[in-house]
Structure 1
C-alpha cells in the first residue's frame, strides 16, 4: 500500500535521510493521494502493462504505479536518491530502478530487455525544466510507446492542445498532435507538492497514434520546417524558413505557399498540421529535384 501520497509520509522520508531537495533536477514531490490515484487511473495501467517512469524521486508515484502495473522501470538521474528508492520501494518486487539520465540512456534497449520490445506506457511527474526535450525524445525516437501520462506545468499542457491562431500554438503543439491525441486530465495546484512550485501544474494524457493523422513524405523534414517557422515568431513563415539553414530561399517558400493558396506573408501560427505537411512536401520536392 502506498505510504508517500501524503505530507507526513514524504516529510518522514526527507527527515530520515536528511534529504536536500535538488532544484537542478526539478524535484517537487507529490503529496496528494487523489492526484496520484487519478494520474495512474488516467494512464489505464493494468497488471498486463510495463510502465516506464521518468524521475521517480523518492518513489511516490512509483508506489501508486506498482500497485496497478505488472512491472515498473523507473529511471532516476540523482544517484543520491537510489538508496532512498531501495527503501521506499522495498515492498514492491515489480520495480526496477535505473540510475541514469533519460535524455542519454538507450531507452529502446531498456524496453527490449525489460519488456521484450513490446509497447510500454509512460507515467511521470516530469522535471519542468526539461519537459519538452524529454517528450520530444520519447516521441521522435519512434519507441514502442502506447501512451504517455505526465505531470507538467499547466501552461505547457495548454500549449500541447492549442489550435492554429493562438499565441500559444507552436512547434510543441504540432509535434504532440502529430504523434498523439492529448487529453487534459486535471489541474494540480502548488499546494499538492513539497516543495511548492511557483506555478499551477496539470496532468495530461497523450494517447499515441497508431498512424499519424497526416501523411508527409518525410516527417523529420516537416518538423525542421515547423521549427524554422516558429524560431522567430514575429517573422513571416517564408522568412523564418529561408533563414533556417535548410537550403531554401524565400522565393521558394513563397512559391510553395502560393501553390497552397496561402498568403505569402502568413506566419507559422496560422497553419494547421495538414497545411504544414502539404507545405513541407512541396519544399521537399523542391530540394530533391
Structure 2
C-alpha cells in the first residue's frame, strides 16, 4: 500500500482511497457551491482534499470521521481546526436529525464515500431526508448507474427505486481511478441527490417500499406473480394495474409505490 503525500497509510478496512487530483477537487467543490451560513456536513473527510476548500469557502464545516488518526489530524490542523467541528462517529450510526435540530436548519451533506459502506450509508441518510437540502457523493460509478437507472435496464433495482422515489438524481462528473491514492480498480462518479419537497409518488411507509423491492428483485428472472406471492395475489396485482407476468425490472417507480401503499393499507397476514 503506498503512503499518501501526507504520510497517512490508507486503511483497507475503512475502504480508504484518497482524492488527490486538483482539477477533480475543484470541479466537485464548484458543483457543491458551498456558501457561508449553510450547514455543511462532510462524511469521511480523509486527508481533507474536499474539506479544506469547502471549509474555507463556507467558514465552517461539520465532519464525520471514524478513523482516529485522521480525526486527530483534523483537530490539530494549524489552519483548519478552527473551521471544523469533528464528530468522531460511524456515519452509518450518525444522527443527522439531531445535528439539524442543534443547528436549527437543513443540512447539505457530501463525501467521498468508502466503497464498502456506500449503499447502506445512503439508505441510512434517506431516513433523514426531511432535514437534508441536498447531497453530493463520490461513489463507484456502478452504484451511481444503479441509482440513476430507469426501468428495463440491468442496473435498475431496489436502489434505483428507493432513491428515485424521494430524490432527484443527477450525475455531476465521472472520476477516473488515477484521481485517487491508492488508485481503485473501478471508475468513480459524483452524484447529486436532491430530496423532493413533494415527491411525485408519495409513499406511506418507506419500510414497506423497501420490503416490496427487496422481495421483487430477490429473483430478477421470475415474474411479479411468483416473487410477490407471499405479499399479494395475482388478482390483487391486476387490480393495481400491474401485469402479474411482468419481470421486476420492467415496472416503474410509481408501480412499486402503488403496491407498497396498498400493502400499507392491507398488511399481509404474517404466518403464525
Indicate whether the TM-score tops 0.5. Answer: yes
Secondary structure class of the residue paired with 2:50? helix
Change (3 A) 1:256 1:91: same
Q: How do residues 142-221 of structure 1 correspond to structure 2 at under 5 angstroms?
A: 142-221=129-208
Question: What is the number of residues matched between the two proteins?
Answer: 267
Pairwise CA distance, 1:199: 0.5
Q: C-alpha offsets along residues 132-157 of structure 1, whole Å, 9 cap, x if unaligned?
A: 11111111234500000010001111
Runs of 4+ in structure 1 off by over 6 angstroms are none
Pairwise CA distance, 1:99: 1.1
Secondary structure class of the residue paired with 1:150? strand
- Whether the 8 Å contact between 2:75 and 2:81 is mirrored in structure 1 is no
- Whether the 8 Å contact between 1:59 and 1:88 is mirrored in structure 2 is no
For 2:17 and 2:251, the matched residues in 1 are separated by 36
Q: How do residues 31-180 of structure 1 correspond to structure 2 at under 5 angstroms?
A: 31-88=20-77, 90-91=79-80, 93-113=82-102, 115-116=103-104, 118-180=105-167
1:258 to 215, 230, 238: 238
Pairwise CA distance, 1:288: 7.6
- Whether the 8 Å contact between 1:89 and 1:95 is mirrored in structure 2 is no
Secondary structure class of the residue paired with 1:13? coil
Partner residue, 1:7: none
- Whether the 8 Å contact between 1:147 and 1:208 is mirrored in structure 2 is yes
- Whether the 8 Å contact between 1:43 and 1:147 is mirrored in structure 2 is no
Pairwise CA distance, 1:26: 1.0
- Whether the 8 Å contact between 2:96 and 2:131 is mirrored in structure 1 is no
Question: Structure 2: where are the runs of 5+ without partners?
Answer: none
Secondary structure class of the residue paired with 1:59? coil
For 1:13 and 1:87, the matched residues in 2 are separated by 14
Give the alignment's TM-score, normalised by structure 2. Answer: 0.91
- Whether the 8 Å contact between 2:242 and 2:255 is mirrored in structure 1 is no
- Whether the 8 Å contact between 2:223 and 2:248 is mirrored in structure 1 is yes
Q: C-alpha offsets along residues 45-70 of structure 1, whole Å, 9 cap, x if unaligned?
A: 21131111101112221112112224
For 1:152 and 1:39, the matched residues in 2 are separated by 13
Question: Structure 1: where are the runs of 5+ without partners?
Answer: 1-9
Pairwise CA distance, 1:22: 0.5
